[in-house]
Structure 1
Amino acid sequence: MLRQFLSLITFLFFLYPFVNYTQHSDCIDALVYDSKREGNISVPTGFGKEKEIFGHDLYNDYFFTEEHNTLWIYLYFRDTTEFEFELTPKNSDDDFDFMLYKIDRPNFCNFIKSNQPIPIRSNLARKHPKTGSITGMRAENSNAYAKAGYQPYFSSTLKVNKGEEYYLIIDSPNGSDAYFNLFSKTEFIDTILIPKNPKTNLEPEVKIANEKKVNSPAKVNVQFSSSDSIHIPFKGLKIEGIRQEDSLVFFNKDSIEFIANKVPQKYVFTITASGYEPQEFIYFITNKKDTSLIFELKKLKLGSVLNFKKINFISNKATILEESYSEIAKLYSFLIANNNMKVEIGGHVNGLGRNRVSYQKLSKKRAKSVYKELIDMGVAKNRLTFKGHGNKLPIYKNPISNEQSSANRRVEITIKELN
């Protein structure tokens, strides 16, 4: 008989240090959550026998770039509840990310690997040692996801129903120990009672002959090519507009395919490819008709100037705005995709009138701020230089809005060497 819970209870569980890949680093060998265990968790070294999560760009909204050091946890809910947890590194300088999947079909582990479906929750925010680098899901947050960057460190909670099953994936670049605090008004199924292969005992699907499909979704295939129609493999791809109910199929590395369940809908594709400029393409789907799209990429040239327009700064300071870190991640991804390229980081200000010495100094400090961020992320120093342009090259000579003024406070990248 289930125990009755009258107040919110915190569960902690303990995993002994892992020594090889058989210890819950793969989906198929996920740790079954046991409500009788207490203590802390240890993320094992390595990704196990295979990577189920892979091929994603640093600045995407939903996924780890790939598995590094990974712990898979299986959760079965005995009761309807609000799922909320905290993950607290023992060392505040450690970095933990997580993704949460609802198990909705047989052979779900294979489905993840083959299709890279969008998780129902994830958080990829960078470590933040001053606050302990804590992450998780909290009721006060409204965001289901958090991309690579500084905030938010928590994603929203999730209403789960009795009998539902989930995979929680925890990834750490270096592997480490952490406290896993789970807050829920429910008891989880014990290890000895859980089926070893979740969702394998489902009732067979009943198919009705001559059943008419109503409002069939549209299949959209997207490819990228050069000016001479050669398909270009991409290093990274970010897609805006994909809904939770859409089926996203990654990756042939030069194309993607997804199922659009709702129209009209706007999609934005931001692509990074070796030897080509980072570009953004917009597509509006207006009817549920299968569609093939081919977007042409611009070849990189020596001296090309690329505007990373979303890297912005506090007025009169070299402090990068928090919302700009996803754009810095985009710049980092571009540099990694073109790892023999050297660039100059150019800083600009919104100052009015003559290009005073103070403008020159501020713009140089802004360029240096971006330079230091990229160095901290692992870009080699010999690939980067920085320069301040003052207010000599404004986008808007006479800005009439805060948006135009902010656009003038920008960073541009000039290609100095291509190999």
Structure 2
Amino acid sequence: MKTVRFFLFNIILLLMECAYSIAQEKYIIKPENNDCSNPIELKDTIYGPTNAPDGYGKLNEFNAPQKDLYSFEKEHNTVWYKFTIKQNDILTFDIVPLSIKDDYDFLLYKYTNKNFCEAIKTGKIKPVRSNISRNEKQIKSKTGLSMDAKDELVHSGYGNPYSKFLDVKKGEVYYLVLDNVYANGKGHTLIIHLKENTTQIISKPIVKKVVPKETVKVVPKKDIGKAIIQTVLFDSISNERIKGDIDLLNITKQKFKTPEISKKDTTALNWKIIAGQKYLLTVVSKDYLPYCVQIATKKSDTLIVYNVNMQKVEAGLQYNAENILFYGNETKLLPISFVALNNLVSFLKENPSVKLQVQGHVNSPKKYTFNLTKKIFMRRLSKKRAKLVFAYLVKNGIDKKRLSYKGMGAKKMIYPHTHKLQEMQKNRRVEIHIISN
């Protein structure tokens, strides 16, 4: 009897070891996957956790000099993925390192023909999306494509760790190459999100039809210029619907009063608006970061669908309060800023355990880099801007024990070498650092 038990015990151990081995090998990155010619073909939307990519393989595809800042200067530790689109969709994805010390950059290419890999090596094919910015440990060094990002290609240095989503069509093939700058990494998980293409602005097709004059249907005057805006709230990771408070404000005439549309504790908004005007959409949801975005509509629009991916609040997260903006060289807020500030107040009241730090930033031309007087002025200006936001929050009922502020000077400009007015305005910003939740 003991012999039988011993035999069964060993069989169970063997099965457990086999299961563990299979689990470990399911998401293995092999040396040949370091090259474009042998990508990992994705069959599911989640791949990982993997082992760490090690080296660049037999062929260094990015050894040739590049003419732009939107490609790897050289390969470090790469892995190539390949996937085929099954239906018209919107593509986003998350690259989640197992260690926040790892710094993953990525390039996304649309496949062309059998000479595809050689064309990449010679620089004849450019990526449709890229992100080579520094890793942000506040968001656990994650990167990828998101619905909220504005830029398709993000160059090296400081920048948004996420690039803009991509509209994809059935049958298209894409190659995604990841490069971990640091050796001896801990691997990663790749999560691909494909959802029905509902974020585009959709207009009714204009059909020219010849009909007898007496049968022409006249559109009632009250319907001319009208459009429908639809907004749905999603968790940015699980893609599940969530509830929140949604406000929509018409900002065409730069008058920032009470929102004309407001819905509380809802997962979606469906409302008539005036086409061809600008709106400010704000969302507050418990346990999620506040959301504030401008939406510009066209006169020809009849249906605008804008889905919002909300990010969970976590200690260490840092986000750019994009619509809290200042006049140049002043602590005076632009009028639109008060809507975003009130959105931040609502967020703090909805999440009473959250503590945060307000960080002020400035726009400082490169020529002032070695001007000590100017550097001191900019550092003080950034601190005053942060203090102004701090004071506004306290004035509107937020306990100052939950808040702190800091001036960052010009150390972290989003656009350090810009001459464009809009980009300089984005440098004059406030960022929010979550201390605890």
Q: TM-score range by the shorter chain?
A: 0.3 to 0.5
| Higher helix proportion (structure 1 or 2) | 2
Max Rg structure: 2
Normalising by structure 1, what TM-score?
Answer: 0.42
Normalising by structure 2, what TM-score?
Answer: 0.40
